[in-house]
Amino acid sequence: MLKYALFDLDGTLTDPYEGISKCLEYALQRMGFKLHDDYKKFIGPPLTYSFENFCGMSRDQSLQAVKVYRERFSTIGLFENYLYDGIPEVLQFLRLHKVTLAVATSKPTCFSQRILDKFNLSQYFDVIVGSELNGERIEKSEVIKECLTRLNVSQSDLKFTYMAGDRKFDMSGAVKNGITGIGIGYGYAQGDELKESGATYIVPDVKSLLSLFEKLIEN
């Protein structure tokens, strides 16, 4: 049975690579750091995590880099983003079958809302939960927990609740909150991270995601 479906945003509903990569280059240049050779790994984790672990920044430097990154992202970068083919049909199908939907993303809520509005996706979701610009709730497990709270998901309904996301942070966050992880193979997962972080299912494309939801509803 499927009652609740939570979705990551970047790499799951939309492809944000162009905007994120350009904003990362903008921030690194402004901060005087060498440009990175693989921006794909930056998609999914909190920005502070990425700047510290992939660029060797200190905590203070990473916080400053996030501010610089958002100078471009808040006006240009968030709209350099593309909807994956078939996503509206997936969401329409789930709503038709009375599944309650939510977005659970590490991206700040204010940016996430604008991106979803751009693609006319906000209408499908009961709640949209992201991080806060002040640095609160950046861990994916915290975002998922807040989603479950706002949706009033009972303890007994956790087994009917699923989290679809393309990075290990989505899967480990799902496991930590007692819900089932659906790994998105068409996003930005690195190697076997989805399986290793606890994904119960892994789908290679949007069509397969829809087929999985059809099976879960039938059961």
Determine if the pTM surpasses 0.85. Answer: yes
Give the pLDDT band (50/70/90) at residue 92: very high
The answer, yes or no, to whether residue 193 has pLDDT greater than 80, is: yes
Domains and CATH numbers, the chain: 4-15+82-218 (3.40.50.1000), 17-79 (1.10.150.240)
pLDDT in the model for residue 45: 86
Q: List CB contacts of 4: < 8 A, sequence separation 6 or more.
A: 99, 100, 101, 102, 151, 153, 157, 160, 161, 162, 179
State yes or no: is 8 an active-site residue. Answer: yes
Q: How far is residue 188's CA from residue 13's CA, in Å, rounded to a whole number? A: 12
Q: What pairing do the DSSP bridges indicate for beta strands 201-203 and 180-184? A: parallel
Distance CA 184, CA 86 (A): 14
Model confidence at 133: pLDDT above 80: yes
| Biggest CA pair distance of the chain | 54
pLDDT band at 136 (very low <50, low <70, confident <90, very high): confident
For residue 190, give every residue at least 6 positions away whose Cβ sits within 8 Å of its Cβ, in sequence order, or none: 40, 41
Q: Is 45 helix (H, G, I), strand (E, B) or coil?
A: coil
Active-site choice (8, 10, 15, 170)? 8
